[in-house]
Amino acid sequence: MLCLFSMSLAMSATTLGKDSDQRLSLPPIETKGALSIEEAIQLRRSVRDFGRGPLDLTDVSQLLWSAQGITGRRGLRTAPSAGALYPLELYMVAGNVEGLSAGVYHYRPKTHELVSLASGDRRHALASAALNQRSVSGAPAVLVITGVYERTAKKYGHRARRYVHMEVGHAAQNIYLQATARSLGTVIVGAFDDDEVQEVLGLPPDHKPFSLMPVGRKR
């Protein structure tokens, strides 16, 4: 059984987001739902307009896990990776998530937790970097898929870029299907200024942004 909790969910939302060393363990994952995979595939659509309701931590937990969560004792994950090298890194820009202060967070798959990187609502700054797309500024949260080419290049050389890009697609489709299964909407956004996104999120230089996925409740 995966060890998913390292601290209490009772942590106040007003404290998380003030200290870059603060962490929040996410709710345990759910591996059974009301919707079959076939139904989720049939119903999946890109959604750009969201309702006013917030996401909750269970939504966040499921979405992040679906993209890069651990599914076995050897560290294998929900999305395939060339050589099991796992070059992807997930971030979340939160603006309207119950139990979570607005800010930028980094997902750690091994411990299924969020690490606070910066406080404050940065959705509008992120939208500005993405050609002012309203889906980015209007969603309760935006998942950001980034990758580190060097992790894959150590084994696969110049083929690494191709493999990393394939993995982004795997993770994004998992997010789409998990969102659909939870009656949420999302869309993959690829039109943005890479350098601006890195600046808004405060990304390390080798964490290259590949896609933004605003997510929220359907209207």
Averaged pLDDT for residues 19-39: 89
Tokens representing residue 43 in the block: 């119903």
Check whether 12 has a pLDDT greater than 70.
no
Is residue 50 very low, low, confident or very high in pLDDT (cuts 50, 70, 90)? Answer: very high
Q: For residues 215 and 10, which has the higher predicted lDDT (pLDDT)?
A: 215
Q: Residue 110: its pLDDT value, please? A: 97
Q: Residue 21: its pLDDT value, please? A: 63
Where does 35-217 sit in CATH, by number?
3.40.109.10
- In the block, tokens 């898929």 appear at 145
Q: Residue 198: its pLDDT value, please? A: 98
Check whether 163 has a pLDDT greater than 70.
yes
Check whether 14 has a pLDDT greater than 90.
no
SS3 category, 192: coil
The residue ranges of every structural domain in the chain are: 35-217
Check whether 174 has a pLDDT greater than 50.
yes
Check whether 175 has a pLDDT greater than 80.
yes
Helices (H), the chain: 37-43, 57-68, 123-129, 134-138, 149-156, 160-181, 194-201
Q: Residue 20: its pLDDT value, please? A: 45
> Does this model's pTM top 0.85?
yes
Check whether 159 has a pLDDT greater than 80.
yes
CA quadruple 21, 6, 53, 198: dihedral sign: positive
